[in-house]
Amino acid sequence: MENFTGKIAVITGAGSGIGRELALALARDGANVALIDINEDTADITAERCRAQSSDGGRFTVHQCDVTVAEEVSAAATEVLAQHRSNHVNLLFNNAGIGLTESFLNGDREVWERTFDVCWGGVYLCSRAFVPLLVASDEGHLINTASINGFWATVGPHRPHTAYSAAKFAVKGFSEALINDFRLNAPHVGVSVVMPGHIGTDIVINSMMVHGGEADPEMTEIGNAFRTLAPTTAAQAATIILD
């Protein structure tokens, strides 16, 4: 897809990081964007910035949604069609994700499963809800965000990283398998999988919040250090994805 003007894009995790930067880049390129995030306040900020960036008065809608809950995802899909006055979408960015290292053997099962459910289950449920809407378009594309941890299931020898890595391997395999599935059953729809390395975002702090905690000063310091050390910014990553 070379021209985004007038296209309808759906982005999960649109309230910050890569999701926000994708939305801003698409706004500048004339797209209409549905912003999905568990945090409605941050998604509202993204929407305001998109309106400021848009040159032709694009439509930017906000949809509060937990991507691990099928009913909420289905409701968000219905809202998107209604608010964009359409029977289809053109782009789906399955971008929502959380992190934090967690041991399968010694870690908290609820934390492990929450990480896996967001990073893989969110991709699966949103694909179930929105891929039929891509198929209903005359030109569609699915973009799934995996991770370098979908190649290497480690963040070093002293930190277990099983939930996030397992989820990102699943995203990569799902995306690759869809290439042939789309070729056979929906040849006008493309699929891409993105495998970013360390990106300067708020994923550490956001992950703490989603896991039910608060971003304490220590975690804020870690998050700031992560953003400083990351070789690629969220804006650069969004540009790479769209290119």
Q: Would you name the residues annotated as active-site residues? A: 164
CA dist 235 and 107 (Å) reads: 33
Hey, which residues does 94 pair with through a beta bridge?
144
CA distances from 91 to 3, 74, 130, 166, 231 (A): 12, 17, 9, 25, 27
CA dist 34 and 83 (Å) reads: 9
CA dist 105 and 116 (Å) reads: 15
Q: Evaluate whether 94 touches 124 at the Cβ level (below 8 Å).
A: no
DSSP string, 32-43: EEEEEES-HHHH
CA dist 237 and 123 (Å) reads: 19
The secondary structure element, H or E, covering residue 189 is strand 189-194
CA dist 122 and 151 (Å) reads: 20
Amino acid at 1: M
Hey, which residues does 189 pair with through a beta bridge?
140
**Among residues 19, 22, 55, 59, which one has the least CA distance to residue 243?**
22
Hey, which residues does 60 pair with through a beta bridge?
33
